[in-house]
Amino acid sequence: MALDSYVSLGRSGLKVSPFCLGAMNFGEDSGLGCSIEESEKILQAYVDGGGNFVDTANRYTNGHSEAILGDFLAARPGLRDRLVLATKFFGNLHLGDPNGGGASRKAIIGQLEDSLRRLRTDYVDLYWLHNYDWATPIEETLRTLDDLVTAGKIRYIGFSDTPAWFTAKAHTTALLRGWSPVVALQMEYSLLERTIEGELIPLAQDAGMGLLPWSPLKSGYLTGKYRRHLNAPADAKRAAILGDPSEAQFTVIERLVSVAEEAGTTPAAAALSWVQNRPGVTSTLIGPRTLAHLESHLTALDVRLTPAQIAALDDVSIPTLNFPHDLNHRVGAMLKYAGATVDGRPSSVYPPLLQSVNRY
């Protein structure tokens, strides 16, 4: 597989690369990002490799990430229209201004105008709601976004880091009102964070939304830099902020390292391959801070884990999901099919039924 093996973003007509280039680390304002020069090297290498999907947000490095992207595209006429350019709204960059962030009509329009100015473009291909705004009616948010689609300032709408119930309500409301629907979800997903398998992934699959996992390497925990036997991780600055993995996480990491060695690849590539090939996943977000990181991440596109290797990673990272997920899967079939085989899958029998069937 390659970056130019494009895939459809959910049920929309938009075609994107299987790895999306995340620009959260562009700019050194946060203290953890990369320089303008390194950012542009990463961008150029991604584009040269056939990549067409770049993702940022208004708040990344205090707006500098968007500005770096804007300057890069402005210096390369014609490139902007060949890319799927995505950014997000919600983050407030105006201290003390209660309307500077969130998902109200005033906030959305203000944030979009600022993003368009920094990106040096007149439209955004995919505009993400970056969080759940409990203080704004969803109808206000959706109608504003639909107006912006009609005006040609945004092309598609996505939700990031929103609860499943809220996302389902928003998508259904948009469909019933004839407004632009939610075409994609951006959620944290990795071997160390699988809880979206409970509700958000089934929602995306049922509604035809594209799913973009972020932090597929769990902030570097799954790169192989963090091991039980190491006195200190390779990236001390990042570790000082994030802390060390827990014992349970180290168990997953050690299994990943073992599988990667067996597959003849790196732990990072194995972890990325696992995520990209999960049910429902459209394109995986990678956020390199160096050109070397990007080159390493892209090798994952050619990694093919065996069923046994996938099962080994699945088993060690099984998540604990919210009620009633386990109940539904544990007793749902036995209550519904009463021992019958359906779609090739046999069901067991709920014990009391053995004594009471056809008694009344």
> pLDDT, tens digit, for every residue of 75-119?
999 999 999 999 999 999 999 999 999 999 999 999 999 999 999
pLDDT band of residue 332 (cuts 50, 70, 90) is low
The fraction of the chain above a pLDDT of 70, given in percent, is 92
Question: Which one is the CATH code of 7-316: 3.90.550.10, 3.30.360.10, 1.20.140.10, 3.20.20.100?
Answer: 3.20.20.100
Secondary structure of residue 155 in the 3-state scheme: strand
* Distance separating alpha carbons of residues 171 and 177, to the nearest angstrom: 10
DSSP assignment of 214-237 equals E-TTTTTGGGS---TT-SS-S-HH
Judged against a pLDDT cut of 60, whether residue 356 lies above it is answered with no
Q: What do you get for the CA distance between the two ends of the chain, in Å?
A: 60
| pLDDT tens per residue across span 266-277 | 999 999 999 999
* Distance separating alpha carbons of residues 294 and 288, to the nearest angstrom: 5
Pairing verdict, β 19-22 and 284-286: parallel
Beta bridge partners of 345: 342
* Predicted structure pTM score: 0.92
- Mean pLDDT, the chain, integer: 93
**Ranges of each domain in the chain:** 7-316, 325-356
Catalytic residue among 60, 132, 156, 221: 60
> Catalytic: 127?
no
**Residue 301, CA distances (Å) to 21, 48, 221, 274, 275 in order:** 14, 16, 20, 10, 11
Please classify residue 323 by burial: count the beta carbons closer than 10 Å to its beta carbon, then call 0-12 exposed, 13-18 middle and 19+ buried: exposed
- Residues with Cβ < 8 Å from 245, sequence gap 6 or more? 192, 221, 226, 253
| pLDDT tens per residue across span 221-252 | 999 999 988 765 656 566 666 788 999 999 99
Angle between helices 64-74 and 105-119 (to 10 degrees): 50
